[in-house]
A and B are shown apart, each in its own frame.
Chain A
Amino acid sequence: MLAVSDPWIRWAWVRDHGDLIRSRVGEHLQLTVITVALGLVIAIPLGVACFRWKRLYPPVLGVAGVIYTIPSLALLAFLIPITGLTKTTSIIPLVSYTLLILVRNVVAGLQSVPEEVRESATGMGYSPARRLLQIELPLAVPAIMAGVRITTVTTIGLVTVTSLIGQGGLGQLILDGLYRDFRTPLVVGTGLAIALSAAADVGFLGLEKLLTPWAKARR
Protein backbone atom coordinates (compact mmCIF):
# COMPACT_ATOMS: atom_id res chain seq x y z
CA MET A 1 0.00 0.00 0.00
CA LEU A 2 2.44 2.67 1.14
CA ALA A 3 5.27 3.29 -1.28
CA VAL A 4 8.51 1.95 0.15
CA SER A 5 10.39 5.01 -1.08
CA ASP A 6 8.21 7.31 1.01
CA PRO A 7 10.47 8.59 3.82
CA TRP A 8 9.20 8.37 7.40
CA ILE A 9 9.02 12.09 7.70
CA ARG A 10 9.13 14.97 5.23
CA TRP A 11 10.13 18.06 7.17
CA ALA A 12 8.92 20.33 4.38
CA TRP A 13 5.36 19.06 4.95
CA VAL A 14 5.69 19.61 8.68
CA ARG A 15 6.90 23.20 8.12
CA ASP A 16 4.08 23.95 5.70
CA HIS A 17 1.40 22.50 7.96
CA GLY A 18 2.34 24.06 11.29
CA ASP A 19 -1.12 25.57 11.69
CA LEU A 20 -2.88 22.30 10.93
CA ILE A 21 -0.70 20.39 13.38
CA ARG A 22 -1.21 23.01 16.08
CA SER A 23 -4.98 22.93 15.69
CA ARG A 24 -5.01 19.10 15.79
CA VAL A 25 -3.02 19.21 19.05
CA GLY A 26 -5.48 21.82 20.34
CA GLU A 27 -8.48 19.65 19.49
CA HIS A 28 -6.82 16.67 21.09
CA LEU A 29 -6.09 18.53 24.31
CA GLN A 30 -9.56 20.05 24.39
CA LEU A 31 -11.25 16.64 24.18
CA THR A 32 -8.88 15.22 26.79
CA VAL A 33 -9.42 18.05 29.26
CA ILE A 34 -13.21 18.00 28.88
CA THR A 35 -13.23 14.22 29.36
CA VAL A 36 -11.10 14.12 32.49
CA ALA A 37 -12.90 17.14 34.01
CA LEU A 38 -16.34 15.58 33.43
CA GLY A 39 -15.01 12.26 34.70
CA LEU A 40 -13.96 13.91 37.96
CA VAL A 41 -17.26 15.77 38.30
CA ILE A 42 -19.04 12.42 38.17
CA ALA A 43 -16.50 10.23 39.94
CA ILE A 44 -15.91 12.32 43.06
CA PRO A 45 -19.55 12.40 44.25
CA LEU A 46 -19.96 8.79 43.15
CA GLY A 47 -16.83 7.75 45.03
CA VAL A 48 -17.92 9.65 48.14
CA ALA A 49 -21.33 7.97 47.94
CA CYS A 50 -19.70 4.53 47.56
CA PHE A 51 -17.52 5.26 50.57
CA ARG A 52 -20.52 6.31 52.69
CA TRP A 53 -22.86 3.56 51.58
CA LYS A 54 -20.58 0.55 51.20
CA ARG A 55 -23.27 -1.54 49.58
CA LEU A 56 -23.26 0.80 46.59
CA TYR A 57 -19.60 0.14 45.81
CA PRO A 58 -19.63 -3.37 44.27
CA PRO A 59 -22.47 -2.65 41.79
CA VAL A 60 -20.92 0.69 40.78
CA LEU A 61 -17.54 -0.98 40.20
CA GLY A 62 -19.28 -3.77 38.32
CA VAL A 63 -21.04 -1.43 35.91
CA ALA A 64 -17.92 0.70 35.41
CA GLY A 65 -15.94 -2.49 34.81
CA VAL A 66 -18.35 -3.73 32.16
CA ILE A 67 -18.17 -0.37 30.36
CA TYR A 68 -14.39 -0.45 30.60
CA THR A 69 -14.35 -3.84 28.88
CA ILE A 70 -16.34 -2.66 25.85
CA PRO A 71 -13.96 -1.60 23.06
CA SER A 72 -13.82 2.10 22.34
CA LEU A 73 -14.89 1.69 18.74
CA ALA A 74 -17.97 -0.29 19.82
CA LEU A 75 -18.98 2.23 22.46
CA LEU A 76 -18.64 5.00 19.91
CA ALA A 77 -20.65 2.97 17.45
CA PHE A 78 -23.50 2.46 19.92
CA LEU A 79 -23.92 6.20 20.23
CA ILE A 80 -23.66 7.14 16.56
CA PRO A 81 -27.31 6.26 15.82
CA ILE A 82 -28.39 8.36 18.81
CA THR A 83 -26.12 11.39 18.88
CA GLY A 84 -24.72 11.26 15.35
CA LEU A 85 -21.18 12.11 14.27
CA THR A 86 -20.75 14.80 16.92
CA LYS A 87 -18.44 15.76 19.77
CA THR A 88 -21.04 14.42 22.24
CA THR A 89 -20.63 10.99 20.67
CA SER A 90 -16.91 11.06 21.34
CA ILE A 91 -17.12 12.52 24.84
CA ILE A 92 -19.69 10.12 26.34
CA PRO A 93 -17.59 6.95 25.83
CA LEU A 94 -14.39 8.74 26.83
CA VAL A 95 -15.94 9.90 30.10
CA SER A 96 -17.44 6.45 30.75
CA TYR A 97 -13.99 4.90 30.48
CA THR A 98 -12.52 7.21 33.12
CA LEU A 99 -15.07 6.17 35.77
CA LEU A 100 -13.66 2.78 36.74
CA ILE A 101 -10.22 4.10 37.62
CA LEU A 102 -11.38 7.43 39.04
CA VAL A 103 -14.09 6.02 41.32
CA ARG A 104 -11.75 3.31 42.54
CA ASN A 105 -9.07 5.86 43.37
CA VAL A 106 -11.48 8.26 45.09
CA VAL A 107 -12.67 5.44 47.33
CA ALA A 108 -9.11 4.23 47.97
CA GLY A 109 -8.12 7.79 48.82
CA LEU A 110 -10.96 8.19 51.32
CA GLN A 111 -10.16 4.79 52.83
CA SER A 112 -6.56 5.87 53.32
CA VAL A 113 -7.59 8.67 55.73
CA PRO A 114 -6.59 7.44 59.20
CA GLU A 115 -9.46 6.88 61.61
CA GLU A 116 -7.74 9.07 64.26
CA VAL A 117 -7.77 11.99 61.85
CA ARG A 118 -11.49 11.57 61.26
CA GLU A 119 -12.16 11.33 64.97
CA SER A 120 -10.04 14.37 65.76
CA ALA A 121 -11.92 16.39 63.17
CA THR A 122 -15.25 15.31 64.62
CA GLY A 123 -13.97 16.09 68.10
CA MET A 124 -12.97 19.57 66.96
CA GLY A 125 -16.56 20.15 65.97
CA TYR A 126 -16.36 19.60 62.21
CA SER A 127 -19.71 18.73 60.64
CA PRO A 128 -19.58 15.64 58.37
CA ALA A 129 -19.82 17.80 55.23
CA ARG A 130 -17.06 20.16 56.36
CA ARG A 131 -14.92 17.24 57.46
CA LEU A 132 -15.32 15.71 54.02
CA LEU A 133 -14.41 18.90 52.15
CA GLN A 134 -11.63 20.18 54.37
CA ILE A 135 -10.03 17.05 55.77
CA GLU A 136 -10.93 13.84 53.97
CA LEU A 137 -10.90 14.92 50.32
CA PRO A 138 -7.62 16.88 50.64
CA LEU A 139 -6.02 13.83 52.24
CA ALA A 140 -7.38 11.70 49.40
CA VAL A 141 -5.73 13.96 46.80
CA PRO A 142 -2.65 11.77 46.19
CA ALA A 143 -4.81 8.74 45.35
CA ILE A 144 -7.24 10.81 43.27
CA MET A 145 -4.36 12.45 41.39
CA ALA A 146 -2.83 9.06 40.68
CA GLY A 147 -6.17 8.14 39.07
CA VAL A 148 -6.28 11.40 37.12
CA ARG A 149 -2.78 10.72 35.84
CA ILE A 150 -3.65 7.25 34.57
CA THR A 151 -6.96 8.32 33.04
CA THR A 152 -5.38 11.32 31.31
CA VAL A 153 -2.73 9.16 29.67
CA THR A 154 -5.34 6.58 28.66
CA THR A 155 -7.71 9.25 27.36
CA ILE A 156 -5.00 10.82 25.19
CA GLY A 157 -4.62 7.43 23.53
CA LEU A 158 -8.36 6.89 23.14
CA VAL A 159 -8.97 10.33 21.63
CA THR A 160 -7.02 9.16 18.59
CA VAL A 161 -9.84 6.66 17.97
CA THR A 162 -12.60 9.26 18.16
CA SER A 163 -11.12 10.90 15.08
CA LEU A 164 -12.90 8.15 13.17
CA ILE A 165 -16.13 10.05 13.58
CA GLY A 166 -14.50 13.23 12.36
CA GLN A 167 -13.92 15.07 15.61
CA GLY A 168 -10.34 16.08 14.85
CA GLY A 169 -7.43 15.47 17.16
CA LEU A 170 -4.16 13.75 16.39
CA GLY A 171 -5.96 10.64 15.18
CA GLN A 172 -7.06 12.72 12.21
CA LEU A 173 -3.42 13.10 11.18
CA ILE A 174 -2.91 9.34 11.58
CA LEU A 175 -6.00 8.65 9.46
CA ASP A 176 -4.87 11.16 6.83
CA GLY A 177 -1.57 9.32 6.62
CA LEU A 178 -3.38 6.00 6.27
CA TYR A 179 -5.85 7.11 3.62
CA ARG A 180 -3.36 9.08 1.55
CA ASP A 181 -0.49 6.55 1.74
CA PHE A 182 1.65 9.28 3.24
CA ARG A 183 3.82 8.52 6.23
CA THR A 184 4.61 12.00 7.48
CA PRO A 185 1.24 12.89 9.10
CA LEU A 186 1.06 9.36 10.48
CA VAL A 187 4.44 9.69 12.17
CA VAL A 188 3.75 13.25 13.34
CA GLY A 189 0.36 12.27 14.79
CA THR A 190 1.72 9.21 16.58
CA GLY A 191 4.79 11.02 17.87
CA LEU A 192 2.76 13.92 19.22
CA ALA A 193 0.23 11.59 20.88
CA ILE A 194 3.06 9.79 22.67
CA ALA A 195 4.69 13.11 23.60
CA LEU A 196 1.39 14.40 25.03
CA SER A 197 0.94 11.23 27.11
CA ALA A 198 4.47 11.44 28.44
CA ALA A 199 4.10 15.14 29.22
CA ALA A 200 0.81 14.49 31.03
CA ASP A 201 2.39 11.67 33.02
CA VAL A 202 5.35 13.78 34.16
CA GLY A 203 3.26 16.92 34.63
CA PHE A 204 0.74 15.22 36.90
CA LEU A 205 3.50 13.66 39.00
CA GLY A 206 4.85 17.17 39.58
CA LEU A 207 1.39 18.57 40.29
CA GLU A 208 0.76 15.79 42.78
CA LYS A 209 3.90 16.82 44.69
CA LEU A 210 2.83 20.48 44.63
CA LEU A 211 -0.69 19.73 45.87
CA THR A 212 0.46 17.59 48.77
CA PRO A 213 3.35 19.45 50.40
CA TRP A 214 2.84 17.43 53.60
CA ALA A 215 3.70 14.17 51.80
CA LYS A 216 7.32 15.29 51.43
CA ALA A 217 7.64 16.14 55.12
CA ARG A 218 6.31 12.74 56.07
CA ARG A 219 8.73 10.82 53.89
Chain B
Amino acid sequence: MSFLADVVHFLTTSAHWWGTEGILHRSQDHLLMSAAALVTAMVIALPLGLVLGHTGRGGFVAINLSNLGRAVPSFAIIVLMASIVGIGAEPAYVALVALAVPPMVTNAYTAIRGVDDEVKESATGMGLTGLQVLRRVEVPMGLPLIMAGVRTSGVQVVATATLAALVGWGGLGRYIVDGIATRNFVSVFVGALLVAALSLATEAGLAALQRAVVPRGLVVAPEID
Protein backbone atom coordinates (compact mmCIF):
# COMPACT_ATOMS: atom_id res chain seq x y z
CA MET B 1 0.00 0.00 0.00
CA SER B 2 2.93 2.33 0.53
CA PHE B 3 3.35 2.50 -3.25
CA LEU B 4 -0.15 3.85 -3.72
CA ALA B 5 0.42 6.22 -0.83
CA ASP B 6 3.50 7.50 -2.67
CA VAL B 7 1.44 7.98 -5.81
CA VAL B 8 -1.21 9.92 -3.90
CA HIS B 9 1.52 11.96 -2.24
CA PHE B 10 3.04 12.75 -5.64
CA LEU B 11 -0.31 13.90 -6.97
CA THR B 12 -1.17 15.99 -3.91
CA THR B 13 2.14 17.82 -3.78
CA SER B 14 1.45 21.18 -5.38
CA ALA B 15 5.04 21.52 -6.60
CA HIS B 16 4.38 18.68 -8.99
CA TRP B 17 1.55 20.59 -10.65
CA TRP B 18 3.15 23.98 -11.34
CA GLY B 19 6.20 25.17 -13.26
CA THR B 20 7.65 24.03 -16.57
CA GLU B 21 8.06 20.45 -15.37
CA GLY B 22 4.66 20.41 -13.71
CA ILE B 23 1.68 18.31 -14.62
CA LEU B 24 -0.33 21.27 -15.91
CA HIS B 25 2.40 22.52 -18.20
CA ARG B 26 3.11 19.07 -19.58
CA SER B 27 -0.57 18.32 -20.10
CA GLN B 28 -0.93 21.58 -21.98
CA ASP B 29 2.12 20.75 -24.14
CA HIS B 30 0.72 17.31 -24.80
CA LEU B 31 -2.67 18.65 -25.87
CA LEU B 32 -1.31 21.52 -27.96
CA MET B 33 1.08 19.24 -29.81
CA SER B 34 -1.68 16.69 -30.43
CA ALA B 35 -4.16 19.34 -31.58
CA ALA B 36 -1.63 20.95 -33.93
CA ALA B 37 -0.73 17.59 -35.45
CA LEU B 38 -4.36 16.51 -35.80
CA VAL B 39 -5.46 19.76 -37.44
CA THR B 40 -2.51 19.69 -39.86
CA ALA B 41 -3.28 16.10 -40.74
CA MET B 42 -6.96 16.96 -41.29
CA VAL B 43 -6.01 19.74 -43.69
CA ILE B 44 -3.90 17.27 -45.67
CA ALA B 45 -6.02 14.13 -45.42
CA LEU B 46 -9.66 15.20 -45.68
CA PRO B 47 -9.51 17.08 -49.02
CA LEU B 48 -7.44 14.24 -50.46
CA GLY B 49 -9.86 11.55 -49.26
CA LEU B 50 -12.91 13.52 -50.36
CA VAL B 51 -11.58 14.20 -53.85
CA LEU B 52 -10.42 10.61 -54.32
CA GLY B 53 -13.81 9.37 -53.12
CA HIS B 54 -15.72 11.80 -55.33
CA THR B 55 -13.80 10.98 -58.48
CA GLY B 56 -13.49 7.31 -57.58
CA ARG B 57 -9.80 7.42 -58.51
CA GLY B 58 -6.88 6.16 -56.51
CA GLY B 59 -9.01 3.78 -54.47
CA PHE B 60 -6.20 1.27 -54.19
CA VAL B 61 -3.90 3.91 -52.71
CA ALA B 62 -6.58 5.30 -50.39
CA ILE B 63 -7.44 1.89 -48.96
CA ASN B 64 -3.91 0.59 -48.65
CA LEU B 65 -2.54 3.76 -47.12
CA SER B 66 -4.03 2.85 -43.78
CA ASN B 67 -2.79 -0.74 -44.07
CA LEU B 68 0.69 0.63 -44.65
CA GLY B 69 0.22 3.05 -41.77
CA ARG B 70 -0.63 0.15 -39.48
CA ALA B 71 2.47 -1.77 -40.55
CA VAL B 72 4.93 1.04 -39.80
CA PRO B 73 5.39 1.21 -36.01
CA SER B 74 4.66 4.72 -34.75
CA PHE B 75 7.62 4.38 -32.42
CA ALA B 76 9.88 3.83 -35.44
CA ILE B 77 8.42 6.86 -37.25
CA ILE B 78 9.23 9.12 -34.31
CA VAL B 79 12.79 7.86 -33.95
CA LEU B 80 13.37 8.04 -37.72
CA MET B 81 12.09 11.61 -37.80
CA ALA B 82 14.39 12.49 -34.93
CA SER B 83 17.31 11.17 -36.90
CA ILE B 84 16.35 13.37 -39.86
CA VAL B 85 15.33 16.66 -38.23
CA GLY B 86 16.99 16.33 -34.83
CA ILE B 87 15.47 15.92 -31.38
CA GLY B 88 12.77 18.09 -29.89
CA ALA B 89 9.29 19.11 -30.95
CA GLU B 90 9.77 18.89 -34.73
CA PRO B 91 10.22 15.12 -35.11
CA ALA B 92 7.28 14.52 -32.81
CA TYR B 93 5.08 16.90 -34.80
CA VAL B 94 6.06 15.49 -38.19
CA ALA B 95 5.69 11.89 -37.00
CA LEU B 96 2.27 12.55 -35.45
CA VAL B 97 1.02 14.19 -38.64
CA ALA B 98 2.31 11.26 -40.69
CA LEU B 99 0.55 8.90 -38.35
CA ALA B 100 -2.78 10.72 -38.38
CA VAL B 101 -3.14 11.11 -42.15
CA PRO B 102 -3.75 7.51 -43.35
CA PRO B 103 -6.85 6.57 -41.30
CA MET B 104 -8.52 9.87 -42.23
CA VAL B 105 -7.82 9.47 -45.97
CA THR B 106 -9.12 5.90 -45.95
CA ASN B 107 -12.24 6.78 -43.97
CA ALA B 108 -13.07 9.87 -46.03
CA TYR B 109 -12.60 7.88 -49.22
CA THR B 110 -14.76 4.99 -47.99
CA ALA B 111 -17.39 7.40 -46.67
CA ILE B 112 -17.82 9.17 -50.00
CA ARG B 113 -17.74 5.94 -52.00
CA GLY B 114 -20.40 4.49 -49.72
CA VAL B 115 -23.01 7.11 -50.56
CA ASP B 116 -25.82 5.50 -52.59
CA ASP B 117 -25.48 5.94 -56.34
CA GLU B 118 -29.20 6.69 -56.61
CA VAL B 119 -28.85 9.60 -54.21
CA LYS B 120 -25.93 10.99 -56.20
CA GLU B 121 -27.77 10.53 -59.48
CA SER B 122 -30.86 12.30 -58.12
CA ALA B 123 -28.68 15.18 -57.01
CA THR B 124 -27.05 15.41 -60.43
CA GLY B 125 -30.48 15.13 -62.04
CA MET B 126 -31.67 18.05 -59.95
CA GLY B 127 -28.95 20.11 -61.59
CA LEU B 128 -26.28 20.11 -58.89
CA THR B 129 -22.72 20.43 -60.14
CA GLY B 130 -20.04 17.94 -59.09
CA LEU B 131 -18.76 20.23 -56.36
CA GLN B 132 -22.29 20.85 -55.08
CA VAL B 133 -22.98 17.11 -54.98
CA LEU B 134 -19.83 16.66 -52.93
CA ARG B 135 -20.57 19.53 -50.58
CA ARG B 136 -24.32 19.13 -50.07
CA VAL B 137 -24.87 15.42 -50.50
CA GLU B 138 -21.76 13.28 -50.22
CA VAL B 139 -20.04 15.04 -47.32
CA PRO B 140 -23.11 15.24 -45.05
CA MET B 141 -24.01 11.62 -45.76
CA GLY B 142 -20.43 10.48 -45.30
CA LEU B 143 -19.93 12.50 -42.13
CA PRO B 144 -20.38 9.64 -39.63
CA LEU B 145 -17.52 7.70 -41.23
CA ILE B 146 -15.39 10.77 -41.88
CA MET B 147 -15.68 11.74 -38.22
CA ALA B 148 -14.91 8.18 -37.17
CA GLY B 149 -11.61 8.57 -39.00
CA VAL B 150 -10.86 11.86 -37.25
CA ARG B 151 -11.65 10.21 -33.92
CA THR B 152 -9.39 7.21 -34.59
CA SER B 153 -6.54 9.47 -35.63
CA GLY B 154 -7.07 11.87 -32.74
CA VAL B 155 -6.92 9.19 -30.09
CA GLN B 156 -3.89 7.65 -31.76
CA VAL B 157 -2.11 11.01 -31.89
CA VAL B 158 -2.66 11.68 -28.17
CA ALA B 159 -1.45 8.16 -27.39
CA THR B 160 1.63 8.40 -29.56
CA ALA B 161 2.59 11.87 -28.34
CA THR B 162 3.59 9.98 -25.19
CA LEU B 163 6.41 8.34 -27.13
CA ALA B 164 7.74 11.74 -28.15
CA ALA B 165 9.38 11.92 -24.72
CA LEU B 166 11.91 9.45 -26.12
CA VAL B 167 13.22 11.99 -28.60
CA GLY B 168 13.65 14.75 -26.08
CA TRP B 169 10.27 16.43 -26.27
CA GLY B 170 8.06 17.15 -23.25
CA GLY B 171 4.47 16.12 -22.76
CA LEU B 172 3.17 13.58 -20.29
CA GLY B 173 5.41 10.84 -21.65
CA ARG B 174 8.29 12.46 -19.76
CA TYR B 175 7.02 11.04 -16.45
CA ILE B 176 7.05 7.53 -17.90
CA VAL B 177 10.28 7.68 -19.87
CA ASP B 178 12.24 9.49 -17.14
CA GLY B 179 10.69 7.22 -14.53
CA ILE B 180 11.80 4.08 -16.35
CA ALA B 181 15.30 5.51 -16.81
CA THR B 182 15.67 6.34 -13.11
CA ARG B 183 13.60 3.39 -11.82
CA ASN B 184 11.25 5.88 -10.21
CA PHE B 185 8.11 3.77 -10.53
CA VAL B 186 5.93 6.31 -8.75
CA SER B 187 6.62 8.77 -11.54
CA VAL B 188 6.03 6.01 -14.11
CA PHE B 189 2.67 5.17 -12.56
CA VAL B 190 1.59 8.81 -12.28
CA GLY B 191 2.51 9.33 -15.94
CA ALA B 192 0.49 6.28 -16.91
CA LEU B 193 -2.53 7.54 -14.98
CA LEU B 194 -2.36 10.97 -16.59
CA VAL B 195 -1.82 9.65 -20.11
CA ALA B 196 -4.64 7.13 -19.77
CA ALA B 197 -6.98 9.82 -18.43
CA LEU B 198 -6.08 12.19 -21.25
CA SER B 199 -6.61 9.50 -23.90
CA LEU B 200 -9.99 8.51 -22.53
CA ALA B 201 -10.99 12.17 -22.30
CA THR B 202 -9.91 12.69 -25.91
CA GLU B 203 -11.93 9.69 -27.03
CA ALA B 204 -14.98 11.01 -25.16
CA GLY B 205 -14.46 14.55 -26.44
CA LEU B 206 -14.11 13.49 -30.07
CA ALA B 207 -17.13 11.19 -29.71
CA ALA B 208 -19.14 14.17 -28.47
CA LEU B 209 -17.86 16.23 -31.40
CA GLN B 210 -18.89 13.46 -33.76
CA ARG B 211 -22.40 13.45 -32.29
CA ALA B 212 -22.59 17.22 -32.54
CA VAL B 213 -21.63 17.53 -36.20
CA VAL B 214 -23.34 14.48 -37.68
CA PRO B 215 -26.81 15.40 -39.01
CA ARG B 216 -29.46 13.85 -36.79
CA GLY B 217 -31.13 11.89 -39.57
CA LEU B 218 -27.90 10.02 -40.25
CA VAL B 219 -27.22 8.76 -36.75
CA VAL B 220 -27.31 4.98 -36.83
CA ALA B 221 -28.10 3.22 -33.59
CA PRO B 222 -25.19 1.03 -32.43
CA GLU B 223 -25.67 -2.51 -33.58
CA ILE B 224 -26.57 -4.85 -30.75
CA ASP B 225 -28.43 -7.98 -31.71
Closest partner residue, chain B, to A3 (CB atom) = B83
Q: Does B188 contact A (CB under 8 A)?
A: yes
Residues from chain A with Cβ under 8 Å of B158 in the complex: 71
**Distance in Å: Cβ of A93 to nearest Cβ of chain B:** 11
Q: Which of B86, B166, B199 contacts A74 (CB 8 A)?
A: B199
Residues from chain B with Cβ under 8 Å of A58 in the complex: 224
Closest partner residue, chain A, to B77 (CB atom) = A190
**A197 touching B71, Cβ below 8 Å:** yes
**B76 touching A178, Cβ below 8 Å:** no
**Distance in Å: Cβ of B189 to nearest Cβ of chain A:** 5
**A54 touching B79, Cβ below 8 Å:** no
**A201 touching B192, Cβ below 8 Å:** no
Q: Mark B171-210, 1 if CB is under 8 A from A, else 0.
A: 0010011011000011011011101100110010000000
Q: Does A43 contact B (CB under 8 A)?
A: no
**B70 touching A81, Cβ below 8 Å:** no
Q: Mark B208-225, 1 if CB is under 8 A from A, else 0.
A: 000000000000000011
Report if A186-B71 is in contact (Cβ < 8 Å); known contacts: A70-B200, A73-B163, A161-B163: no
Q: Mark A175-199, 1 if CB is under 8 A from B, else 0.
A: 1011000010011011001100110
**A77 touching B82, Cβ below 8 Å:** no
Q: Mark B56-96, 1 if CB is under 8 A from A, else 0.
A: 00000000000100111111100110110011000000000
**A111 touching B162, Cβ below 8 Å:** no
Closest partner residue, chain A, to B224 (CB atom) = A58
**B76 touching A174, Cβ below 8 Å:** yes
**B73 touching A54, Cβ below 8 Å:** no
Q: Does B153 contact A (CB under 8 A)?
A: no
Report if A190-B188 is in contact (Cβ < 8 Å); known contacts: A69-B199, A71-B199, A153-B70: no
**Distance in Å: Cβ of A120 to nearest Cβ of chain B:** 21
Report if A157-B74 is in contact (Cβ < 8 Å); known contacts: A71-B162, A74-B162, A111-B225: yes
Closest partner residue, chain B, to A187 (CB atom) = B80
**Distance in Å: Cβ of B159 to nearest Cβ of chain A:** 4
Residues from chain B with Cβ under 8 Å of A183 in the complex: 83
Closest partner residue, chain B, to A58 (CB atom) = B224
A158 to B199 alpha-carbon distance, docked (Å) = 17
**A80 touching B76, Cβ below 8 Å:** no
**B79 touching A186, Cβ below 8 Å:** yes
**Distance in Å: Cβ of B29 to nearest Cβ of chain A:** 16
Residues from chain A with Cβ under 8 Å of B167 in the complex: 178
Q: Does B104 contact A (CB under 8 A)?
A: no
A64 to B171 alpha-carbon distance, docked (Å) = 26
**B79 touching A165, Cβ below 8 Å:** no
**A54 touching B196, Cβ below 8 Å:** no
Most buried by B among A54, A150, A193: A193
A177 to B3 alpha-carbon distance, docked (Å) = 34
Q: Does B160 contact A (CB under 8 A)?
A: yes
Residues from chain A with Cβ under 8 Å of B79 in the complex: 174-175, 177-178, 186, 190
**A77 touching B83, Cβ below 8 Å:** no
Between A and B, 18 residue pairs with Cβ closer than 8 Å are A1-B82, A69-B155, A70-B159, A73-B192, A74-B176, A74-B196, A74-B199, A77-B192, A78-B189, A80-B189, A81-B189, A111-B225, A157-B70, A171-B75, A174-B76, A190-B72, A194-B76, A201-B71
| Beyond known contacts A54-B225, A69-B199: 8 more, CB 8 A cutoff | A69-B155, A69-B159, A69-B203, A73-B173, A80-B188, A157-B72, A160-B76, A190-B73
List chain A positions with a Cβ less than 8 A from chain B. 1-2, 54, 57-58, 66, 69-78, 80-81, 111, 150, 153-154, 156-158, 160-161, 164-165, 171, 174-175, 177-178, 183, 186-187, 189-190, 193-194, 197-198, 201
Please provide the 5 A-B residue pairs with the shortest distance between their CB atoms, ordered closest to farther. A71-B159, A77-B192, A197-B71, A157-B73, A190-B76
